[in-house]
Structure 1
Amino acid sequence: MFYVGCHLSVSSGYLHMVKSAASLGANTFQFFPRNPRGGASASVNEEDMTAAGEFMKAHGFGPVVCHGAYTMNAASAREEVRRFACQSMKEDLMKISSLPGVLYNVHPGAHVKQGVEKGITLIADCINEVLDCDRIQMPFLLETMAGKGTEIGRTFEELGEIIHRVERKDLMGVCLDTCHVYDAGYDIKEDLPGVLAQFDRVLGLSRLRAIHLNDDKNEIGSHRDRHEKIGQGSLGNDVFARIINDKALKDLPFILETPNELAGFKEEIAMLKSWRND
């Protein structure tokens, strides 16, 4: 099954969001459970969420991605910022626990000149605190990062070291962002098999649970993180056709985070479907 969708807003309710995804031709989607650049958390209506889950099951939706806020930085040098990150993650995970097939994805954080080793330790400590709850059973994903500034997660090894220090390793996974890994220096354009082999050696392909499909405004190794519409950036159409048909990747949920409105997402979803070999 080809699971493809885009990022949508939950502001009008979960059922409305799911129906919006279906209207675009999507059978997966991504959403923020709170303001992505602030701290406010969206309210939850349990009836609405239950109805959304029933609609997803009835219409063959695959796994969906809940994205943690960009303002969460578990590697911050400031205690209050780290506390906000940990508390926000806990609240998010509890809030979305009733949605079927949900994956929780976060940007690992930035060490703000404390050093990578210190940042990795702080991030792992936060995740251990967050996952210290039997109710939480959903996969917890770390996103591959472009490496701008002091971001942690620019290499597979950095993500692997975080996971190594997390106690509930069974829940840990990775979301691979095509723009980010290319910006980080991984040549998915000319050597996708080689990059996936490296991922497998360092992390294990079984930990790869979702993919963000984004073209790139920059060239490889730029460390700048600027998403582009599919086929309009430095990656180009061919690489995305290879990614969505790769035997190791083709059954994962593919999420578009391209700079689009809904009509643009609908066009990209249709285009990606036309490139599938099955």
Structure 2
Amino acid sequence: MRVGAHVSIAGGVDNAVGNELDVGGNCGQIFTHSPQVWQDPDIGAKEAERFRAQTDAELNGPWVIHSSYLVNLCTPKPDLREKSAASMQAEIDAASTLDIEYVNVHLGAHTGAGVDTGLENAVSVLDELSIPDDVTVLIESDAGSGTKLGGEFEHLATVLERSEQELDVCLDTAHAFAAGYDLSSADAVNATIATFDDVVGLEHLRCIHLNDSKHALGTNKDEHAHIGEGEIGEDGMRALINHPALETIPFVLETPSEDGKGFEWNIDRVRALRN
């Protein structure tokens, strides 16, 4: 079973490996810099070499780079589009340097341009990127609040179909639940996974952000809860963790650190729920 968490790179990207091991993970996710600012990754050759060597020796993988929160692929604004494209290219280049397989990104918000125009904007930005064969961009499902796109599986499918790039998907369970896809029981999980397969295709599912939700089904509110302790609940989480179509997909946790529980507790919880 491949399960891990989003960990810090404070002090150097190579520190992420030890941080992942400390919480019991064997795969994981990082930011290459603060996600709240426009900043390029600053990764030295020696720390990159240490990261690659330690990853090969200690982890099962994969790693995922999560793009900056400021990136908006759907924007109609030329300046934001340019910054978003440049930021994505920098993350892709960093992933290639670090031998990281995936770069994860939200589609962003169309901010009044309309759904179809927003999706076309996203496709056009993605198609400008130079993506090497050893890196894949993952489009992450969204909670769908406001004009944000990616809450509907059809949005993800449209981008994959229209883009000239070989793109895949990261499914966030809390986001999908908030967007109206029920995951709170075994039957609901089966139905939602079948819908995803029909609309997007399970062959495109490369990573799952495994998070419970603090808010009810279809509320479009994105706030993560501890595994089995949110609105998805233990039954839903157990069904996800043991679903036969997901058994080879890496689970990456973005659960909170609160109530005396952090990533280690949540990773242990995932393993305890695995049959």
TM over 0.5: yes
The aligned amino acid for 2:173 is T
> Deviation of residue 147 (structure 1)?
0.5
In the alignment, is the contact (CA less than 8 A) between 2:141 and 2:151 conserved in 1?
A: yes
* 2:249 corresponds to: 252
Q: Does 1:18 align with 2:17?
A: yes
> What secondary structure, in the 3-state scheme, does the structure 1 residue paired with 2:184 have?
coil
TM-score (norm 2): 0.94
Deviation at 1:77, TM superposition (A): 2.4
- Residue type of the partner of 2:234? N
Q: Distance in 1 between matches of 2:121 and 2:241?
A: 34
- Which residue of structure 2 aligns with residue 188 of structure 1? 183
Match of 1:71 in 2: 70
- Deviates most, 94-103 or 84-93: 94-103
Q: State the match for 1:215 in structure 2.
A: 212
Q: Which moved more, 1:9-18 or 1:105-114?
A: 9-18
Contact 1:108 1:153 in 2 (8 A): yes
**What is the CA–CA distance in structure 2 between the aligned matches of 1:11 and 1:59, rounded to whole Å?**
19
Distance 1:263 1:61 in 2: 24
> Is this contact kept in 1: 2:27–2:59, CA < 8 A?
no
Check whether the contact 1:243–1:250 (CA below 8 A) recurs between aligned residues.
Answer: no
Which AA in structure 2 matches 1:183? A
1:231 CA drift (Å) = 2.3
Structure 1: 5+ residue stretches without partners: none
Structure 2: how far apart are the matches of 1:42 and 1:199? 33
User: What are the ranges of 5 or more consecutive residues in structure 2 without an aligned counterpart?
Assistant: none
Q: Quick one: distance in 2 between partners of 1:149 and 1:245?
A: 33
How far is the alpha carbon of 1:45 from its aligned partner?
A: 1.2
C-alpha distance in 1 between matches for 2:104 and 2:140: 7
Cα distance between partner residues in 2 of 1:226 and 1:267 = 18
Contact kept? 1:156, 1:203, Cα under 8 Å: yes
Tell me the CA shift for residue 168 of structure 1: 2.1
Structure 1 counterpart of 2:52: 53
Q: Is the 8 A contact 1:97 1:136 kept in 2?
A: no
Which amino acid in 2 is paired with 1:78?
A: K
Q: For the Cα contact (< 8 Å) 2:29–2:65, is it kept in 1?
A: yes
Contact residue 174 and residue 209 of structure 1 kept, 8 A: yes
Shift of 1:114: 0.6
Q: 1:103-114 counterparts in 2 under 5 A?
A: 103-114=102-113
Report the TM-score when normalising by structure 1.
0.93
Q: SS of the counterpart of 1:154? A: coil
Matched AA of 2:182: D
Does the aligned pair in 1 maintain the 2:178–2:221 contact within 8 Å? Answer: yes
Aligned residue pairs, count: 272
Say if 2:171 is the partner of 1:176: yes
Task: Point out 4+ residue stretches in structure 1 off by more than 3 angstroms.
Answer: none
Alpha carbons 1:93, 1:136 under 8 Å: kept: no
**Secondary structure class of the residue paired with 1:98:** helix
Q: Aligned with 1:96: secondary structure?
A: helix
Secondary structure of the structure 2 residue equivalent to 1:255? strand
Q: 2:238 aligns with which of 236, 241, 248?
A: 241
